C-alpha cells in the first residue's frame, strides 16, 4: 500500500504550510532521508526528508499551494502502485474552518496600500501598514529582500566573514595557540554559503508577508497617471491597479560611468558581478573608493587577489571621520591593497591580463593598471527608469524622487522611500526607517524621518562606523567642539580580539558637552555605534556617558573611556 506524505506540523502555532519546491518529481525514485520538498510557514522555510524508500507516485499539492497540517500531500510507493482515492487531496478541517465567522470589516473597509518594491524599505513599509490595519499589496519584479538581501549587504558580509576568518587564522592563529596547516579557500563553498544565507533571509521575508496577510504580486509596475499603475505580471498579463496610497520603494542599481570601454570590456564587472564570480581573480582594479569598493577590496585581498583602488578624490570613504579612515587605510596597505588617489580614469582597454585601466594622475601624467577584473564601484542610481514618473506627475531629480520628512511626494497619496529618493542616505536601515515613517503617515499617525541618528557602517578590516558630525563637518559649520579619543590597544577585549587595532573618537559641544558625533574603527564597531546614535537621539552629554556603567571586559568600555578623555579625566590612557 502506498505511503502517505503528510504536511508536517513544525510548531505549536502552525496550522498550514505552503509548498515552496518539490525536490523530487513525480515518477522519480526517492530514498529514506532524501530531501523530498521544502515547506514555508509564516515564520520559516524547512526542508522535509522522505520517511521511506520508493517512487514518488503522486503529488497532490503543487508548488505555491498551501495545505493544512497533517493533510496528505503526496504518495510514495512501489513503481506502478495504485494511489488511494484517485489521488485527491485529503484535508483535515483547519482552525479557520471550525472557528466562528469573523466580524466583518466596518463600512468603507480598510485603507488600501500598494508598495512598489519588496526590499528593506518596501517590505518593512508593507508590514508596518498592515500592522496598522491596511490592506497591503507588494509588487516585486525580481526577488523579495531587494539588493540588500540578494546582491548587496548580506552577500558582501558573507564573503567578508569568510575573508576575516581566513585573515585571523593566518595572522593571529599561531599567536593565540591555534596552529593549522594548509589553510585554503574553497571559493565554491564561500559562494554556496552566501547563497544559502540569502535564501534563508528572503524566505523569511516571504513568511513575514504571509503572516501579516500581505498580497504579493510578481510583476513590474509603471504609472499611467497619478495613483494609477499598470502592472505587467510574470506571465505577461497586464492589470491596472490603484490604492488609497502608493509607496514607491524601487531601490537603486549600480551606476555605470561614461568611461570609454567600460561597457564593451567583459572583464569589467559591478558589485553584482563581484558577488557571483566562479573563481578568485589573480588581480583586480577597483574604480571608486566608496563603501562598496573598499569592502570588496578587503574581501578579495584576503582571498589572495592583488588589489589596486583608483579614486578621483584625494581621500576614500567620505562618510567617515579622517582619523578613522587613516587607521583603515594603514591596515589595508598591510593587506597588500594599493591606492592611487587623485587619479582620474580616462578609458578601459583590452590587455593580455584582461583589461587595462588608463588614468591621469594628479601631476597630469598618464598611468595605467592591468588586471584580470575591473570592478566599477562609483555609486548607485535610483531604479526608477521603468516607473514612468512623469505620467504620475512626480517631481524628481534625474530619477530621484523628491520627498519631505514625512516621505510624501508632491502627488497626494504617493510616497517614496529608500535609495530612489533624493538627498537621503542610500542604506538599507535608512530605507526601513523611511518605510515605517511613510506607513505611519498613511495610516494617520504623525511620523518623520530624521537622519541625524543614522549610522554609516563600513565592513572593511577592521570594520568602521560613524554617526553624527565629523570634525570636518564641525569646522564647516563653525561649531565650537571638543574631541575625546581612546585607542583600542588600551582595551583588554579589543587586545584579545584583534590585537588592539583601532580607535574610538567622540565629538561633543564645547560648552554643554552634548554628544555631536561618535566614530569607531576596530572590533565590533558596527555593533557598538548604536550607543552613539542613541546618545545623539537623547541629546546626551559626555557626562551622562561617563556616569553610565559599562560592563567589563567589553569593547563598549572604549566609548566611556573616550568620553573621559574628552573631559580630561582619562583613566586608562593619557589626557593629552
pLDDT 10s digits, 137-159: 999 999 999 999 999 999 999 99
Q: What is the pLDDT of residues 189-206, one digit of tens each?
A: 999 999 999 999 999 999
Grid cell at residue 76: 510514495
Least confident of 14-18, 25-29, 379-383, 554-558: 14-18
Fold of 3-94: OB fold (Dihydrolipoamide Acetyltransferase, E2P) (2.40.50)
Confidence of residue 16 (pLDDT cuts 50, 70, 90): confident
Largest CA distance in the chain: 86
Region(s) of the chain under CATH 3.50.50.60? 112-175+183-254+382-452, 268-378
Could you tell me which residues are beta bridge partners of residue 220? 232
Tally of CB atoms within 10 A around 69: 19
Does 541 score more than 50 pLDDT? Answer: yes
Q: What is the pLDDT of residue 103?
A: 35
What is the CA 123 to chain-centroid distance, rounded?
13
Q: What is the mean pLDDT of residues 94-117?
A: 58
Grid cell at residue 419: 535609495
486 vs 499, 541, 576, CA distance in Å?
15, 17, 11
Q: What is the mean pLDDT of residues 93-113?
A: 50
What is the DSSP annotation of 190-243? HHHHHHHHHHHHHHHHHHHHHHTT-EEEEEEEEEEETTEEEEEETTS-EEEEE-
Mention every residue, 6+ apart, whose C-beta is less than 8 A from residue 34. 23, 24, 49, 50
Q: What is the pLDDT of residues 508-537, one digit of tens each?
A: 999 999 999 999 999 999 999 999 999 999
* Alpha-carbon span 210 to 218, nearest angstrom: 15
Tally of CB atoms within 10 A around 234: 10
* Alpha-carbon span 114 to 135, nearest angstrom: 9
* Alpha-carbon span 124 to 510, nearest angstrom: 39
Q: Which residue has the cell 490604492?
A: 243
Q: What is the pLDDT of residue 91?
A: 47
* Alpha-carbon span 122 to 114, nearest angstrom: 10
Does 95 score more than 60 pLDDT? Answer: no
CA angle 549/552/553 to nearest 5° reads 150
Burial 541-554 (b: 16+ CB within 10 A, else e): bbeebbeeebeeee
Which one, of 434, 436, 439, lies nearest residue 420 by Cα?
Answer: 434
Between helix 153-171 and helix 187-211 the angle, nearest 10°, is 140
560 vs 179, 485, 527, 542, 551, CA distance in Å?
36, 10, 16, 8, 10
Q: What is the mean pLDDT of residues 249-267?
A: 96
Does 385 score more than 80 pLDDT? Answer: yes
Mention every residue, 6+ apart, whose C-beta is less than 8 A from residue 343. 310, 311, 312, 359, 360, 361, 362, 367
What is the CA 45 to chain-centroid distance, rounded?
20
Burial 253-278 (b: 16+ CB within 10 A, else e): bbeeeebebbeebebbbbbebbbebe
Confidence of residue 43 (pLDDT cuts 50, 70, 90): low
Region(s) of the chain under CATH 2.40.50.100? 3-94
Q: What is the DSSP letter of 408?
A: B
User: 207: phi > 0 → left, psi -120 to 50 → alpha, else beta; which?
Assistant: alpha
List active site positions. Answer: 552
Confidence of residue 548 (pLDDT cuts 50, 70, 90): very high
Q: What is the pLDDT of residue 489?
A: 97
Does 233 score more than 70 pLDDT? Answer: yes
Region(s) of the chain under CATH 3.30.390.30? 462-566
335 vs 123, 167, 190, 294, 462, CA distance in Å?
38, 9, 20, 12, 11
Is 3.30.390.30 the CATH classification of the domain at 462-566?
yes
Q: What is the pLDDT of residue 42?
A: 65
Identify the helix (H) or strand (E) that includes residue 68: strand 66-68
* Alpha-carbon span 193 to 208, nearest angstrom: 23
Grid cell at residue 482: 571638543
Q: What is the pLDDT of residue 84?
A: 77
Give pTM, 2 decimals: 0.83
* Alpha-carbon span 100 to 92, nearest angstrom: 17
Which one, of 169, 196, 194, lies nearest residue 181 by Cα?
Answer: 169
Q: What is the pLDDT of residues 420-462, one digit of tens each?
A: 999 999 999 999 999 999 999 999 999 999 999 999 999 999 9
Identify whether 448 is preceded by a cis peptide bond (ω within 30 of 0): no
Q: Are 45 and 200 in contact (CB under 8 A)?
A: yes
Does 406 score more than 60 pLDDT? Answer: yes
Fold of 112-175+183-254+382-452: FAD/NAD(P)-binding domain (3.50.50)
Q: What is the pLDDT of residues 307-318, one digit of tens each?
A: 999 999 999 999
Does 569 score more than 70 pLDDT? Answer: yes
Sequence length of the chain is 576
Q: What is the mean pLDDT of residues 295-306?
A: 98
What is the CA 548 to chain-centroid distance, rounded?
32
Identify whether 536 is preceded by a cis peptide bond (ω within 30 of 0): no
* Alpha-carbon span 488 to 255, nearest angstrom: 37
Dihedral sign (CA 21, 27, 32, 34)? negative
Which one, of 517, 506, 515, 512, lies nearest residue 483 by Cα?
Answer: 506
372 vs 34, 298, 352, 355, 531, CA distance in Å?
41, 17, 9, 6, 42
For residues 230, 231, 237 and 239, what is the CA-based torsion angle, rounded to 10 degrees?
A: -60
Q: What is the pLDDT of residue 414?
A: 98
Q: Are 542 and 472 in contact (CB under 8 A)?
A: no
Which one, of 62, 117, 71, lies nearest residue 91 by Cα?
Answer: 71
The average confidence (pLDDT) of the chain is 93
Q: Which residue has the cell 555605470?
A: 256
Is 3.40.50.261 the CATH classification of the domain at 268-378?
no
Amino acid at each position: 500500500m502506498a505511503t502517505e506524505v503528510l504536511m508536517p506540523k513544525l510548531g505549536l502555532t502552525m496550522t498550514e504550510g505552503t509548498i515552496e519546491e518539490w525536490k523530487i518529481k513525480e515518477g522519480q525514485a526517492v530514498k529514506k532521508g532524501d530531501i523530498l520538498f521544502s515547506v514555508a510557514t509564516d515564520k520559516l522555510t524547512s526542508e522535509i526528508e522522505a520517511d521511506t524508500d520508493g517512487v514518488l507516485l503522486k503529488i497532490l499539492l503543487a508548488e505555491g499551494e498551501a495545505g493544512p497540517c497533517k493533510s496528505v500531500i503526496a504518495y510514495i510507493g512501489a513503481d506502478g502502485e495504485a494511489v488511494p482515492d484517485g489521488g485527491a487531496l485529503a484535508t483535515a478541517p483547519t482552525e479557520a474552518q471550525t472557528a466562528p465567522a469573523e466580524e466583518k470589516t466596518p463600512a468603507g473597509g480598510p485603507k488600501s496600500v500598494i508598495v512598489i518594491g519588496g526590499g528593506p524599505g518596501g517590505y518593512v513599509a508593507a508590514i508596518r501598514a498592515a500592522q496598522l490595519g491596511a490592506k497591503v499589496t507588494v509588487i516585486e519584479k525580481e526577488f523579495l529582500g531587494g539588493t540588500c538581501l540578494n546582491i548587496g549587504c548580506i552577500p558582501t558580509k558573507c564573503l567578508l566573514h569568510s575573508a576575516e576568518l581566513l585573515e585571523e587564522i593566518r595572522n593571529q592563529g599561531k599567536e593565540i595557540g591555534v596552529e593549522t596547516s594548509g589553510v585554503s579557500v574553497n571559493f565554491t563553498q564561500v559562494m554556496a554559503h552566501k547563497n544559502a544565507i540569502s535564501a534563508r533571509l528572503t524566505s523569511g521575508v516571504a513568511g513575514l508577508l504571509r503572516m501579516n496577510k500581505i498580497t504579493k504580486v510578481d510583476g513590474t509596475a509603471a504609472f499611467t497617471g497619478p495613483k494609477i499603475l499598470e502592472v505587467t505580471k510574470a506571465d505577461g498579463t497586464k492589470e491596472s491597479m490603484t490604492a488609497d496610497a502608493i509607496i514607491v520603494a524601487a531601490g537603486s542599481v549600480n551606476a555605470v560611468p561614461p568611461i570609454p570601454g567600460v561597457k564593451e570590456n567583459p572583464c569589467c564587472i559591478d558589485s553584482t558581478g563581484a558577488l557571483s564570480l566562479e573563481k578568485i581573480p589573480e588581480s583586480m582594479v577597483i574604480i571608486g573608493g566608496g563603501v562598496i569598493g573598499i569592502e570588496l577590496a578587503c574581501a578579495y585581498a584576503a582571498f589572495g587577489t592583488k588589489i589596486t583602488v583608483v579614486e578621483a578624490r584625494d581621500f576614500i570613504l567620505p562618510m567617515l571621520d579622517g582619523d578613522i579612515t587613516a587607521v583603515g587605510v594603514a591596515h589595508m596597505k598591510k593587506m597588500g591593497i594599493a591606492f592611487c588617489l587623485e587619479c582620474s580614469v580616462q578609458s578601459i582597454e583590452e590587455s593580455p591580463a584582461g583589461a587595462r585601466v588608463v588614468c591621469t594622475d594628479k601631476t597630469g601624467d598618464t598611468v595605467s593598471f592591468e588586471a584580470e577584473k575591473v570592478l566599477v564601484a562609483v555609486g548607485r542610481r535610483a531604479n526608477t527608469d521603468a516607473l514612468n514618473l512623469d505620467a504620475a506627475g512626480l517631481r524628481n531629480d534625474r530619477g530621484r524622487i523628491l520627498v519631505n520628512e514625512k516621505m510624501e511626494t508632491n502627488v497626494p497619496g504617493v510616497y517614496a522611500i529608500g535609495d530612489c529618493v533624493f538627498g537621503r542616505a542610500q542604506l538599507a536601515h535608512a530605507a526601513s526607517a523611511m518605510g515605517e515613517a511613510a506607513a505611519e503617515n498613511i495610516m494617520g499617525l504623525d511620523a518623520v524621518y530624521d537622519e541625524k541618528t543614522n549610522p554609516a557602517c563600513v565592513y572593511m578590516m577592521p570594520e568602521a562606523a560613524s554617526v553624527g558630525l565629523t570634525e570636518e563637518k564641525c569646522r564647516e559649520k563653525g561649531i565650537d567642539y571638543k574631541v575625546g579619543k581612546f585607542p583600542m590597544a588600551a582595551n583588554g577585549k579589543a587586545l584579545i580580539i584583534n590585537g588592539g587595532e583601532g580607535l574610538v573618537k567622540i565629538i561633543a559641544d564645547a560648552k554643554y558637552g552634548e554628544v555631536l558625533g561618535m566614530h569607531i574603527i576596530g572590533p565590533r564597531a558596527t555593533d557598538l555605534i548604536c550607543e552613539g546614535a542613541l546618545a545623539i537621539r537623547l541629546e546626551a552629554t559626555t557626562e551622562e556617558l561617563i556616569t553610565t556603567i559599562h560592563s567589563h571586559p567589553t569593547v563598549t568600555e572604549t566609548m566611556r573611556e573616550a568620553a573621559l578623555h574628552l573631559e580630561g579625566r582619562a583613566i586608562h590612557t593619557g589626557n593629552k
